[in-house]
Amino acid sequence: MEDCVFCKIIKGEIPSEKVYEDEEVLAFKDIQPAAPIHILVIPKKHIANLLEVQEEDSYLISHIYQVINKIAKKLEIEKEGFRVIVNCGKDAGQEVMHVHFHMLAGRKLGAKIVG
Ligand code: 5GP
Ligand code: ZN
């Protein structure tokens, strides 16, 4: 998608600090980290949000969780733990309309982390 910030990051038109990449998925550091470790994991396929996920994307979504698993081990946060968040729509405060999985770690996360 032409005007999508995350598609531009995938294409390398906007720089990012990558932590993982394969043919289908990219993970990079959030520009405004909400925790000491804040990674965004995204499919390279442009999917606006969770509501747009189709049955045919089942493999991709499952693969994203495998990637999250790998990143947790790579960053050695698997023991202390981490949180995965997907915001969908206005009330959740979704700002970028390209589905993304936030990985938050590196500090004790409160019961409520989003307002
Ligand atoms: P949302 O609120 O849509 O769930 O999360 C969007 C996230 O993307 C925010 O945490 C924001 O800091 C991050 N973000 C927005 N633009 C950029 C960018 O150009 N580069 C990076 N690395 N992160 C971005
Ligand atoms: Zn996109």
In a domain, 49, yes or no: yes
Ligand at shortest distance from the CA of 44: 2
Query: For the chain, what is the total number of helices (H) and then of strands (E)?
Result: 2, 5
Spacing, Cα 76 to ligand 1 middle (Å): 23
Q: Which helix (H) or strand (E) holds 11?
A: helix 5-11
Is the distance from CB of 82 to CB of 104 less than 8 angstroms?
Answer: yes
In a domain, 115, yes or no: no
Q: What is the pLDDT of residues 68-114, one digit of tens each?
A: 999 999 999 999 999 999 999 999 999 999 999 999 999 999 876 55
Q: Which atom of ligand 1 is nearest to the CA of 38?
A: 10
Q: Is 100 part of the annotated catalytic residue set?
A: yes
In a domain, 101, yes or no: yes
In a domain, 56, yes or no: yes
Q: Which domain holds residue 41?
A: 5-105
Check residue 113 and give its pLDDT: 56
Enumerate residues 6+ apart whose C-beta is below 8 A from 78: 72
User: Could you give the number of structural domains in the chain?
Assistant: 1
* CATH code, domain with 84: 3.30.428.10
Q: Write down the catalytic residue from 38, 46, 63, 100.
A: 100
In a domain, 60, yes or no: yes
Q: What is the pLDDT of residues 18-46, one digit of tens each?
A: 999 999 999 999 999 999 999 999 999 99
Residue type, 8: K
